[in-house]
Amino acid sequence: MSEFGTGPVPVEPEADASALGGDVDEDSEADVDGDFDFDLDLDLDDYGSDAPEESVPSQDGLGPATADSDIPTVDELRLFDRAPERNRLLYVRTGLEELAKLESLHLGTAFVGTDLSFDTPEDLADRLGVLPPGYLRDQNIARRMKLTFSREDAADALKRAREDSNSSSLWPDAHYVGELHPVVEWITDKVLVHLGRRQAQVLQVDPRCAPTPVVLTQGVWSNAEGRPTLVAWLAVDRLGEPDPRVRELTPELLAELGIGPDMPDHYSSGDLEDLRPLVPKAVAETRRTLVGLREIADRRSTPAPRVREAGRQLATGTAPGLHPSTRDDAADCLAEAAARLRTSGDPMVRVLAVLEPGA
């Protein structure tokens, strides 16, 4: 769920109980027997594609394999709605409502269908340098933002701006909100700042949904370029048993655990000391799962056939039109580039939340 634009951060031990963290530096073996799927070779520009989605049937958390892979896949994890644009709209609207409560932030917000407008706060205006200067100037975005969550409406606005002789600007009057739009990241950061470092929420859920504590984690492993090659969203429970259970955090599992926008917003104070020891165990299980998936991730990041053929020609001296010294340099560069695509270093683990059975 790429609404979270701040990126993964390491979770360290001895976090506060109200927001639990865990050690990400424990090593463990790769023999994993968990119930999970995972995302490989993540492209943040494409994460959360707005293409029409088909529902993917799942059983025990696993979905069908893709046509060119034996790796099972699941739908992307979206909390508000399975449709990307609708999910993004509800996320932004809910975020603005929460900020009005947390910071008394009143922006004259107006929602009409899939369109949104609000007064631009100063700290958001500071982030808008990534948008075209002409658009910022012509539409006075630093004063009030006009956004749309519909690709069709955005295309219509652009067409009007380009073709209407009465238009005062070539820029549309409504800007489309994609997955990594500055407004989405601004809302995420504004809400997350209310959590301290190395902290995560403790959520109380119906004990019929989660009779024992469940730790929700995110694991990310990257290559030498800093691009994620493996991302896993996991739910770890049965942490008091010798073999904890690890499951992929799917929309179906979220619903099973009672997690969603309409869940009860209440919390009965309890003793969090019993939850603290569970966090390092959950982090260790997450790391163990990631280690077990790394070999598959590396297989998926193997260079494409044309790149492999070019490497073979360079290595065997059959590449046409190259001087031997140039050929050797090209072979070295290609080998280095291929190596940098492979998973390297240590994974980063974030504790997202701990689910505690309510009274």
Pairing relationship of beta strands 175-176 and 144-148 according to DSSP bridges: parallel
Using one digit for the tens of pLDDT, what is the confidence trace for 181-234?
899 999 999 988 888 778 888 999 999 999 999 999 999 988 888 888 888 999
Strand partners, 162: none
Q: What is the pLDDT of residue 129?
A: 82
Q: What is the mean pLDDT of the chain?
A: 74
Contact in structure between 147 and 117 (CB atoms under 8 Å): yes
Band of the pLDDT at 301, cuts 50, 70, 90? Answer: low
Q: How far apart are CA 36 and CA 221, in angstroms?
A: 16
Contact in structure between 214 and 236 (CB atoms under 8 Å): yes
Band of the pLDDT at 318, cuts 50, 70, 90? Answer: low
Sheet arrangement for strand 175-176:
110-112, 115-119, 144-148, 175-176
Q: What is the pLDDT of residue 112?
A: 92
Band of the pLDDT at 237, cuts 50, 70, 90? Answer: very high
The residue among 322 and 349 whose pLDDT is bigger is: 349
Compute the average pLDDT of residues 118-138: 87
Say whether pLDDT at 53 is over 90. Answer: no
Lowest mean pLDDT among 75-79, 100-104, 124-128, 138-142: 75-79
Say whether pLDDT at 40 is over 80. Answer: no
Contact in structure between 285 and 31 (CB atoms under 8 Å): no
In 3D space, the residue among 145, 205, 207, 197 whose CA is nearest the CA of residue 176 turns out to be 145
Say whether pLDDT at 34 is over 50. Answer: no
Q: How far apart are CA 275 and CA 352, in angstroms?
A: 14
Say whether pLDDT at 266 is over 60. Answer: yes
User: In percent, how much of the chain has pLDDT > 70?
Assistant: 68
Say whether pLDDT at 55 is over 70. Answer: no
Q: How far apart are CA 83 and CA 48, in angstroms?
A: 10
- Non-local (6+) Cβ contacts of 136 within 8 A are 128, 142
In 3D space, the residue among 31, 30, 2, 82 whose CA is nearest the CA of residue 254 turns out to be 82
Q: What is the pLDDT of residue 17?
A: 39
Q: Which of 34-48, 141-155, 308-322 has the highest mean pLDDT?
A: 141-155
Using one digit for the tens of pLDDT, what is the confidence trace for 83-106?
889 999 999 999 998 888 888 888
Strand partners, 313: none
In 3D space, the residue among 273, 283, 162 whose CA is nearest the CA of residue 219 turns out to be 283
The residue type of 73 is T
Q: How far apart are CA 196 and CA 19, in angstroms?
A: 8
Band of the pLDDT at 56, cuts 50, 70, 90? Answer: very low
Q: How far apart are CA 154 and CA 190, in angstroms?
A: 26
Say whether pLDDT at 308 is over 70. Answer: no
Q: What is the pLDDT of residue 352?
A: 92
Compute the average pLDDT of residues 331-359: 81
Q: Which two tokens stand for residue 225?
A: 């370029």
Compute the average pLDDT of residues 41-51: 33
Compute the average pLDDT of residues 288-308: 71
In 3D space, the residue among 245, 249, 244, 260 whose CA is nearest the CA of residue 203 turns out to be 260
Say whether pLDDT at 57 is over 60. Answer: no
Say whether pLDDT at 261 is over 70. Answer: yes
Q: Which two tokens stand for residue 143?
A: 């004063």
Q: How far apart are CA 208 and CA 258, in angstroms?
A: 9
- Give the Cβ contact number of residue 275 at 10 Å: 19
**Exposed e or buried b per residue across 303-333, where buried means at least 16 C-beta atoms within 10 angstroms of its C-beta:** beeeeeebbebbeeeebeebeeeebeebbee
Compute the average pLDDT of residues 54-63: 36
DSSP count for the chain of H helices, then E strands:
9, 10
Band of the pLDDT at 238, cuts 50, 70, 90? Answer: very high
Q: Which two tokens stand for residue 338?
A: 């291929």
Q: Which of 26-30, 34-38, 145-149 has the highest mean pLDDT?
A: 145-149
Inter-helix orientation angle 84-103/182-192, to 10°: 40
Say whether pLDDT at 38 is over 70. Answer: no
User: In percent, how much of the chain has pLDDT > 90?
Assistant: 32
Band of the pLDDT at 277, cuts 50, 70, 90? Answer: very high
Strand partners, 81: none
